[in-house]
Structures are given as structure tokens and as C-alpha cells.
Amino acid sequence: MFDLHAMNLAFGSEIFLIVAGLAGVLAGALLGDKFNTLSFRFGAVSLVIAAIWVALAPQGAVAFGGLLATGPFVNFAKVVAYLSAAIALMMADGFLGRHGLKRYEYSLLIIFASVGIGVMLSSANLMTLYLGVETLSLSSYVLASFHRDSQRSAEAGLKYFVLGALASGLLLYGMSLVYGFAGGTSYAEIAAAEPGIGLLFGMVLMITGLAFKVSAAPMHVWTPDVYEGAPSPVVAFFATAPKMASMVVFAVILYVAFPQPEAFKNWQLIISIIAITSMLVGAFGALLQTNLKRLLGYSSIANMGYGLVAIAAGAEYGAQALLIFMSAYVVASIGLFGGVLSMHREGGMVESISELSGLARYRPAFAMALSVLIISVAGFPLAFGFLGKLAIFEAALSAGLIPLIVVLVLSSVIAFGYYLRLILVIWVNEPAAPFEKVDGWVTGTVFLAALASIALFIFVSPFSDLAGAAAASLIL
């Protein structure tokens, strides 16, 4: 009944993470506060092992009677998500230490959130999908309010929870409708079901719920608030691993469960509209922000809009573009949040854009690295982000989505207005008081991400081949 080999292929890394997480709980219970420091390394190492576990057998398998099914496409996302979660975790170490929040629960929550990511990526059934989404979400709510003494953090957590619960409700409602009209919960059964108005309703509600998770407009309202309020290392996590996973899950559901031409036409229209709104909201919303984290929040809304363009292009054209674009976004984002985490002065963290003023004068190399990341996330040449945007252009043109391309161009130009403002503040303005040195993990991540952004721009070939192979597996 149980095919252990397939189980390992499809779910081994998650089982490992669950065991690691539970072991962490035990260790915490036995060692108490002594485990706090160690737990971050423990968590990061577990996540890296999980990533390697997946990377060693990317072909995946079907397990648990079809509840879980993995393939190169989702495994690609898993590797990126686990690695970025590990880095986000290590970056949190110093920050939490300074704020007296260095507790082992943090790393365990990141591990469990990653388990959620793994489950939702592996799922081939609405039931497992929902389990995964909720595991991720519940961990995220707690993480958002992890800074218990901070009013803003608590507010962010509450906002995230209330709106997130609503979105989960919509998702669940959509799933129940889909189940009712398709007569089954597995993607294959849904794909084979007779199209009809009921199924359409269910699909729309599911899209709504998922759009919330990827913070696509008009379900984006929580994003700037949570980005601003939640502790910065938590946001560094939110902006990377879950974003990567949610977008890929979004794509998988639409590509695998609703592939019929008629359904495709319907969801392509809906996704296009969401993409357009996200791109515009993200571009305009960020223009007047003064808080760097809020700005990055809007920037992520716009970038998810670009990602949705790739999804709207359909599996054949969009899948590879989505992987390349999201990877570029994750690399740049994690570096940028490293930048946010290094904005530390005597008396605590600062978040206003003007605090970056004249950074280039006293830390030119660091300023250069940040600029590379900004250029990458803006999708400008010389950094990986450009190739991501190029791939999306290619996908959208192949699919003939001309209006989306026009909006993409316009919103990119508007968005560049605020990315440029960041570069300007860093390079041109008179220097503000220098930041204090923060721990090596944060600085190292910024440099590493900048280097990776440039290296992947120049030597992209193996990477894009990998993404191409992963995407091709989805079509077969």
C-alpha cells in the first residue's frame, strides 16, 4: 500500500522538516533558553538539508494515493524557497538578539512555515493544498506578531490574521464549490470535470483566495501594513519563500486543474485583470512612500503583477518565465531586506528611505551592492531581474497578451521612478549619520545576493535550461 520510494521522492524533504521541527520542539522543551542560540543554526541547516534532499531527486513522484505529486516544476520552487527561508532565518539572528526576541520558537515557526510551503507545492489535491496553505498561514500570523511588545507588530499580525482568515474562507468556499461540481478534489478529477457555471464560481473564489496569498491587487491591502509592521527579518521571509511558493502553486492549480480551453480562457481573463491592477497599484502606490519597508511592499505587489502576467500566458509559454522571474525576484528581495536589516543606528532600527542618505559616501561597496539589487528588482539590464522581465515579455508576446505588455511597460517606467529615487538617495544626497555595523550574515547576504544577481545575469544559461526543463515537465 505504501510505496516508500515514491513517498521519499514526493514528500521526503517535508517529512524530514517535520521531524526536525518536532525535534526542535523537544529540544526547546528540554533545554529551554539554552536552545535559543543554537536553534537558528539548527533551523537553517535543516532547511538546507531539505533543499539538497529535493535537489538530489528533482524528478519527483506521486504518493499517498495521489494526494501528493511532485515534479521538476514544483521541486524547483521548493529548492529556491527552502534556501531563501534558510537565509532569512540566519539574517534574523542578529536582529532578534538586539530586540531581546531571540527565542527558539522563531526558527521552529520558520521550519513549520516551510513545511506548509512544501505541502502546498507537493499537493495534487485540494485537501492537501488547503492543509499546506493553512500551515504556512498560521505560522506566518504568529511570525508577523512575533515582536509581542511592539504595537505595530501586534497590529500587523492581527491584520494579517483577520484578512488572511477571510481569504482562507474564500479559498475553502471555492474549493467546496469545485468539489461539489467536479465530484472530486484531486486536480485530475477537476480537470476532467464537465465545465459549468458552478465550477467557474468555485475557480473564481479560489483565485481570489490565492491572490490574497501572493498579495495581488485588489487583495493586496494587507501587504504594505504587514510589511511595515512585522519585524524586518520576518518580512524578509514573507517576501521570498512564501511568495515563490504561492506563485508556483497558483500556476500549478490553474495549469493542472483547469487546463480545458474554456476554463483557460476564463482564468486567463481574470488573471490578466488581477495582473494589470497589481502592476498599477504597485507602481503608483510606492511613488509616495517614505518608509522603505512599505515601499518594498508595494514593489512586491507590482512584481507579483509581473509574475501573474507569466501565469496568464499559460503553461506552455509562461511556466519557465515564472520560474526565472520569481527566482530573480527572490534573490534580489532577500538582498534588499538584508539592506533593510543593516539600517541600524544607536537606538534601534530605522526604516525611512531618507536614512539611506549618502550611504555611498561612507560604505561605497555596500551601496554598490544595494544598487545592483535595486536595479535587479527593477528589471533593468546588468542584473538577473532583467532576464526575468525579458522572459515575461517573451511569454506574454507568445501568448498574444498585448494589453498586458503595454501595462507592464508603463508600470515599469513608473516603478523605475521610485527605484531611481532610492539610488539617488544612496548616491547623491548628503550623508546621514552612518549605520552601525550589523552581523556578518546580513552584510554577507547583501553582497552575496548582489553577486548572484550579476553572476546569474552573465552565466544564466544553465539556470534557464534548468528552469526550462522544469517547466517542460509541467506540460507533459
Partner 1 sequence: MDFPILSAVTFLPLAGAVLIMLVRSLAGSTSEDTVDNRVLYCGVVFSIATFLVSLVMLFGFDRDNPAYQMTEQIDWFSEISYKMGVDGLSVSLILLTTFLTPIALIASLGSIQHRLTEYVVAFLILETFMIGVFCALDLILFYVFFEAGLIPMFIIIGVWGGVDRIYASFKFFLYTLLGSLFMLAAIVYMYLSAGSSDVVILENFEFGTGAQTWLWLAFFASFAVKLPMWPVHTWLPDAHVQAPTAGSVILAGVLLKMGGYGLLRFSLPMFPDASELFQPMVFVLSVIAIVYASLVAWRQTDMKKLIAYSSVAHMGFVTLGIFSFTEIGVQGAVFQMLSHGLISGALFLIVGVVYDRMHTREISAYGGLVSRMPIYASLFMLFTMANVGLPGTSGFVGEILTMVGAFQASTWAAAGAALGVIFSAIYMLTLYRRTVFGEITNPDVDVLKDVNFKELVCLVPLAIGTLLFGVMPNLIFDLTRESSLRVLAMMAGG
Residues that bind partner 1 (CB under 8 A): 360-362, 364-365, 375, 380-382, 386-387, 390, 393-394, 397-398, 405, 409-410, 412-413, 416-417, 420, 423-424, 427-428, 460-461, 464-465
What's the half-sphere exposure (Cβ side, CA atoms, 13 Å) at 287? 12
Closest residue by Cα to residue 366 from 418, 420, 444: 444
Q: What is the rounded distance in angstroms from the CA atom of residue 435 to the CA atom of residue 133? A: 38
Instruction: State which residue, 394 or 439, has the beta carbon closest to partner 1.
Output: 394
CB of 410 to partner 1, least distance (A): 8
Q: How far apart are CA 304 and CA 216, in angstroms?
A: 6
Angle at CA 281, nearest 5°, toward 390 and 426?
70
Give min distance, CB of 75 to partner 1, in A: 21
Using the minimum distance from each CB to partner 1, give the nearer residue, 31 or 413: 413
Task: Record the cell numbers describing residue 157, joined without a space.
Answer: 499580525
Residue whose entry in the numeric block shows the C-alpha cell 506566518: 140
Residue pointed to by grid coordinates 543554526: 41
What is the four-CA torsion angle of 284, 289, 292, 295, rounded to 10 degrees? -20
- Which residues, in sequence order, are bridge partners of residue 344? 349
User: What's the closest the beta carbon of residue 384 comes to partner 1, in angstroms?
Assistant: 11
For partner 1, give the closer residue by CB, 215 or 371.
371
Distance, CA of 147 to chain centre? 22
Least gap, CB of 379 to partner 1 (angstroms) = 9
Nearer to partner 1, 203 or 370 (CB): 370
Q: Tell me the closest approach of the beta carbon of residue 382 to partner 1, in angstroms.
A: 5
Least distance from partner 1 to the Cβ atom of residue 333, Å = 20
Measured N-to-C along each axis, helices 261-287 and 197-213 cross at an angle, to the nearest 10 degrees, of 30
Q: What are phi and psi of 196, to 5 degrees?
A: -170, 180
Q: Given the complex with partner 1, which of 63 and 467 has the nearer CB atom?
A: 467
Whole-number minimum distance, CB 206 to partner 1, in Å? Answer: 31
Q: Going by C-beta distance under 8 Å and a sequence separation of 6 or more, which residues neighbour residue 273? A: none
Would you say 221 or 390 has its CB closer to partner 1?
390
Contact 349, 402 (CB under 8 A): no
CA dist., res. 353 & res. 335, Å (int): 16
Which one, 269 or 428, has the nearer CB to partner 1? Answer: 428
Distance CA 80, CA 86 (A): 10
340: which residues sit within 8 A by CB, 6+ positions away? 232, 235, 236, 292, 293, 296, 351
Nearer to partner 1, 205 or 460 (CB): 460
Give the single-character DSSP code of 123. Answer: B
278: exposed, middle or buried (Cβ count in 10 Å: 0-12, 13-18, 19+): buried
Task: Compute the distance between CA of residue 440 and CA of residue 420 in angstroms, rounded to an integer.
Answer: 27
Return the number of the residue (105 or 394) whose C-beta is nearest partner 1: 394
295-314 per-residue burial string, b: 16 or more CB within 10 A, e: under 16: bbbbbbbbbbbbbbbbbbbb
Shortest distance, CB of residue 141 to partner 1, whole angstroms? 39
Based on CB atoms, which residue is closest to partner 1, 405 or 448?
A: 405
170 and 208 in contact (C-beta within 8 Å)?
Answer: yes
If the CB atoms of residues 166 and 420 are measured against partner 1, the closer one turns out to be: 420
Instruction: Decide the pairing of beta strands 348-349 and 344-345.
Output: antiparallel
Q: Which residues pair with 349 in a beta bridge?
A: 344
**Residue 317: CB minimum distance to partner 1, A:** 10
Question: Cβ 476 to partner 1, closest distance in Å?
Answer: 20
CB of 427 to partner 1, least distance (A): 6
Nearer to partner 1, 22 or 424 (CB): 424
Q: How far is the CB of 345 from partner 1 (least distance, A)?
A: 18
